[in-house]
Copies of this chain bind each other. A is one copy, B any other.
Amino acid sequence: MTTVDATALRNPQRPGPRRQEVVAGIKDYILRNRLKPGDLLPTEAELCEAVGASRSSVREAVKILSALDIVEVRHGHGTFVGRMSLNALVESLAFRGLLSGEEDHHVLGQVVDVRQILEQGLAADIISVLDDEHRADLSTLADEMVDLASQGRDFLEVDRAFHLKLMEPLGNDLILQLTEAFWQVQAIVAPTLRTEPEDRLITAQRHRAIVDAATAGDPEALRSAIADHYAPIRTSIARAVQS
């Protein structure tokens, strides 16, 4: 036998375009066989035979599924079930932001809004699940950010780690991935703004304030600290819109 049984893929006559039948067929195949991320799929040739379509159609369908991270293609190796990450959300939103940017940065502003809403909305939960270890980690990250910022260096990766660490103890993968996704969108779109070095230092220090408020256990103070943390980029956006 080959890699897997590919005969369970055939689906009766569906009206739509060929390529979309293949997309649905591959999805059905994954569901029917209870495949998990990382599992191997049939080869292109086997998929062709199974669904009765040509390589072109199968390839285009696989490309659509890979764009959604439903499958993952490794050149010369095979096609595997993907991790269904939110990369597609990042790609789509980031491009929308780049397209609307350059003049009016309203998409970037909306992303900042959502990030703030999520973190503020979770303030009470964050406090209630925060333990000493996470608090220490956050504190270290905040200190690193202030150090880097005071040296005039950027602290992108530390900032990313901080916001992920803040959400981590909640134990909700989706929230973690949304946090990551919106952070990435902002990281891609924000460079179209010119940011003042002073603002960067202020932003770094505001992370320190977030840790302090969380440590104090005051949800209202934490919500304020989070809002303050996003204030510099909001003013940057407002400044860019005026000019």
Contacts and interface: CB of A to CB of B under 8 A. Distances in A.
Contact of A89 (B70, B88, B96, B122): B88
Given A68-B67, A91-B68, A122 B114 contact: no
A241 interface: no
Interface residues of A, number: 46
A121 interface: yes
Contacts of A59: 56, 60
Interface string A52-82: 0000100110011111111000010000000
5 contacts: A68-B91, A86-B93, A113-B172, A114-B174, A117-B118
Interface in A92-138: 92-93, 95-96, 98-99, 107, 110-111, 113-114, 117-118, 120-122
A10 interface: no
Contact of A120 (B65, B66, B67, B121): B121
A67 B70 CA distance: 12
Interface of A, secondary structure class, is helix
A2 to B, nearest CB: 23
Given A113-B174, A122-B121, A27 B68 contact: no
A93 B110 CA distance: 21
Considering residues A35, A114, A120, A121, which has the most beta carbons from chain B within 10 angstroms of its beta carbon?
A121
A196 interface: no
Given A110-B175, A122-B117, A172-B110, A84 B88 contact: no
A20 to B, nearest CB: 11
Interface string A4-46: 0000000000000101000000010011000110000000000
Contact of A121 (B68, B107, B121): B121
Contact of A64 (B67, B99, B114, B118): B67
